[in-house]
C-alpha cells in the first residue's frame, strides 16, 4: 500500500470525494449542529402522523434553513475537507476504516 506523503492541503482529491464523500460528512456534521431543529421536526412528525406534511411546515423550514447555512459555508466545507483528508491518511496508514477504529475494544476476554 502506497502512502501519501503530500501535506493535507496539497492532497489531490477525486471527484467523488469532493462531490459526494465530503458533502456527506458535511450533512452529518450539519445535523449535529442543527440538533434542536432536527429534534423539533422529528417530534412534530411523530405527533402529526399522516398530516405531518401540513402540520410540520414551520419546523421543516427551520431545519432546512439551518442545514443550508452550513452547506453553503466555505469555512465549514474546508473544515470537513480537512477532517476527511485526515481520516483518509489514517486509513492509508493503518488500513482500518474510521468506523472500526472508533469501536471500543473489549476490556476482558
At 5 the three-state DSSP class reads coil
pTM, rounded to two decimals? 0.72
Q: Percent of the chain beyond pLDDT 70? A: 82
Give, in degrees to the nearest 5, the angle at Cα 66 between 51 and 39.
50
Q: Looking at residue 20, what is its pLDDT?
A: 94
Write out the chain's pLDDT in tens, 109 residues.
Answer: 444 455 555 678 999 999 999 999 999 999 999 999 999 999 999 999 888 889 999 999 999 999 999 999 999 999 999 999 999 999 988 888 877 655 555 555 4
pLDDT at 105: 53
Tens digits of residue pLDDT in 35-45: 999 999 999 99
Amino acid at each position: 500500500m502506497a502512502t501519501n506523503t503530500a501535506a493535507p492541503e496539497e492532497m489531490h482529491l477525486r471527484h467523488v470525494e469532493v462531490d459526494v464523500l465530503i458533502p456527506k460528512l458535511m450533512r452529518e456534521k450539519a445535523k449535529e449542529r442543527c440538533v434542536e431543529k432536527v429534534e423539533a421536526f422529528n417530534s412534530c412528525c411523530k405527533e402529526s402522523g399522516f398530516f405531518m406534511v401540513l402540520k410540520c411546515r414551520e419546523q421543516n423550514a427551520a431545519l432546512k434553513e439551518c442545514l443550508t447555512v452550513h452547506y453553503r459555508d466555505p469555512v465549514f466545507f474546508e473544515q470537513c475537507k480537512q477532517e476527511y483528508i485526515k481520516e483518509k491518511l489514517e486509513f492509508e496508514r493503518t488500513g482500518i476504516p474510521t468506523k472500526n477504529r472508533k469501536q471500543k475494544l473489549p476490556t476482558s476476554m
